């Protein structure tokens, strides 16, 4: 695990590149690595956040470490610090997430961590970013969005399996995961501790793999929320609200929430003054549209400002970024490329 200190440039900017949903294994499409190289070359980030669903299949932990090292070689070659949060499919490898995190921490530059043992999930952390003069200026937060909410009966020991999603439901589809209450309380307490220690609230951004429920307000009210980008599928979001967004509003330190998970969505907008956005997907071994595939740039400024935009591989690589049908192509319209 890296102990490198992140720092703003003399101009007062710190750039994060978020990429997600590799859905990779030992036999990943080589265009994934080529696309990552192109994004890094085009955006010149100071830090890379990998936003979940790195894994596909049931590879060994050694295999996971080796192919992740291979995929992110463009990051390693630049000596860039990076971190990762976990998604729903990372739980399907047949390993404990804490062991997967250990495999990541064996790779150079990894700054994310498992987090407190007593918390739900793995990958609950915050990483400080310092001003050019050495003052704590920003925090990068990661929270594990856990497993599907349909697993709550088993997790919580319910004697009966109550339905989570009723016919007239809140979300657009499914009952996808979300940070649980103990994780929200941990964020609250850590945020207050930082304010007490440094005498001011420290602005931050937060990454979770699955979009939180409030993100739906931007998708359903695009004009009012200044929405920009594309949405080509229904949003996977939790049916039961986790309280994280309200906690962040009350604390007043989180400037933005950023998500992976939804491969065909890169909408960004603002709700209650907080920026929220998806990054589409970077992977090739799963459902994705060639003209949306890419990553999200998040520019942070020492004065607390935030600017964000998506970078599409099609715009910087042209048709070289398109999926090779001979390598992988799904059999239903969900998988077919858009031009």
Task: Write the pLDDT tens digit of every residue in 26-40.
Answer: 778 888 899 999 999
Superfamily for 6-335? Answer: Metallo-dependent phosphatases (3.60.21.10)
Whether 89 has a pLDDT exceeding 60, the answer reads yes
Give the number of other CB atoms < 10 A from CB of residue 70.
Answer: 15
Task: Write the pLDDT tens digit of every residue in 94-120.
Answer: 778 888 899 889 999 999 999 999 999
Whether 285 has a pLDDT exceeding 70, the answer reads yes
Report in angstroms the alpha-carbon separations of 141 from 50, 85, 184, 194, 277.
Answer: 13, 10, 12, 13, 15
- Note whether 210 and 238 are within 8 A (CB): yes
CA proximity to 138, closest of 204, 57, 45: 204
pTM: 0.91
Longest dimension (CA), the chain: 58
State the chain's mean pLDDT as an integer: 88
- φ, ψ of residue 16 to 5 degrees: the values are -110, 135
Whether 77 has a pLDDT exceeding 80, the answer reads yes
Q: What is the predicted pLDDT for the residue at 330? A: 44
Q: What is the predicted pLDDT for the residue at 327? A: 46
List of E strands, the chain: 6-7, 13-19, 47-50, 82-84, 125-130, 136-142, 204-208, 254-259, 268-271, 274-278, 294-301, 306-312
pLDDT bracket for residue 324 (50, 70, 90): low
- Note whether 165 and 171 are within 8 A (CB): yes
Whether 325 has a pLDDT exceeding 80, the answer reads no
- φ, ψ of residue 280 to 5 degrees: the values are 60, -140
Whether 59 has a pLDDT exceeding 80, the answer reads no
Q: What tokens were used for 165?
A: 């999603």
- Note whether 338 and 290 are within 8 A (CB): yes
pLDDT bracket for residue 92 (50, 70, 90): confident
Average pLDDT rounded to a whole number, residues 165-175: 78
Specify which residues 258 forms β-bridges with.
207, 277
- Note whether 264 and 233 are within 8 A (CB): yes
Strands 47-50 and 82-84: parallel
**Judging by beta carbons within 10 Å of its beta carbon (0-12, 13-18, 19+), is residue 39 exposed, middle or buried?**
buried
């Amino acid at each position: 695990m890296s102990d490198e200190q992140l720092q703003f440039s003399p101009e007062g900017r710190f750039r994060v590149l978020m990429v997600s949903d590799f859905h990779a294994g030992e036999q990943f499409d080589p265009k994934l690595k080529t696309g990552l190289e192109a994004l890094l070359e085009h955006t010149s980030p100071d830090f890379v956040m990998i936003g979940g669903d790195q894994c596909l299949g049931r590879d060994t932990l050694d295999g996971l470490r080796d192919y992740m090292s291979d995929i992110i070689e463009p990051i390693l070659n630049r000596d860039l610090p990076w971190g990762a949060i976990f998604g729903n499919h990372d739980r399907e490898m047949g390993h404990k997430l804490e062991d997967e995190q250990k495999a990541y921490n064996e790779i150079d530059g990894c700054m994310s961590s498992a987090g407190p043992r007593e918390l739900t999930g793995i990958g609950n952390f915050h990483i400080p970013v310092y001003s050019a003069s050495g003052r704590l200026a920003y925090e990068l937060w990661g929270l594990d969005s856990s497993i599907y909410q349909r697993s709550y009966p088993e997790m919580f020991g319910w004697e009966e399996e109550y339905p989570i999603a009723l016919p007239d439901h809140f979300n657009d589809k499914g009952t996808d995961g979300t940070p649980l209450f103990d994780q929200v309380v941990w964020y609250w307490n850590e945020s207050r501790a930082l304010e007490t220690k440094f005498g001011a609230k420290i602005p931050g951004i937060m990454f979770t793999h699955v979009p939180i429920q409030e993100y739906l307000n931007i998708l359903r009210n695009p004009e009012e929320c200044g929405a920009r980008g594309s949405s080509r599928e229904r949003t996977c979001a939790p049916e039961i609200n986790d309280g994280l967004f309200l906690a962040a509003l009350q604390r007043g330190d989180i400037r933005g929430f950023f998500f992976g998970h939804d491969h065909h969505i890169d909408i960004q907008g603002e709700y209650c003054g907080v920026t929220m956005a998806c990054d589409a997907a970077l992977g090739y071994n799963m459902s994705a549209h060639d003209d949306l595939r890419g990553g999200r740039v998040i520019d942070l400024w020492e004065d607390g400002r935030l600017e964000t935009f998506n970078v599409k591989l099609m715009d910087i690589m042209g048709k070289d970024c398109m999926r090779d049908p001979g390598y992988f192509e799904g059999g239903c319209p969900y998988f077919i490329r858009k031009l």
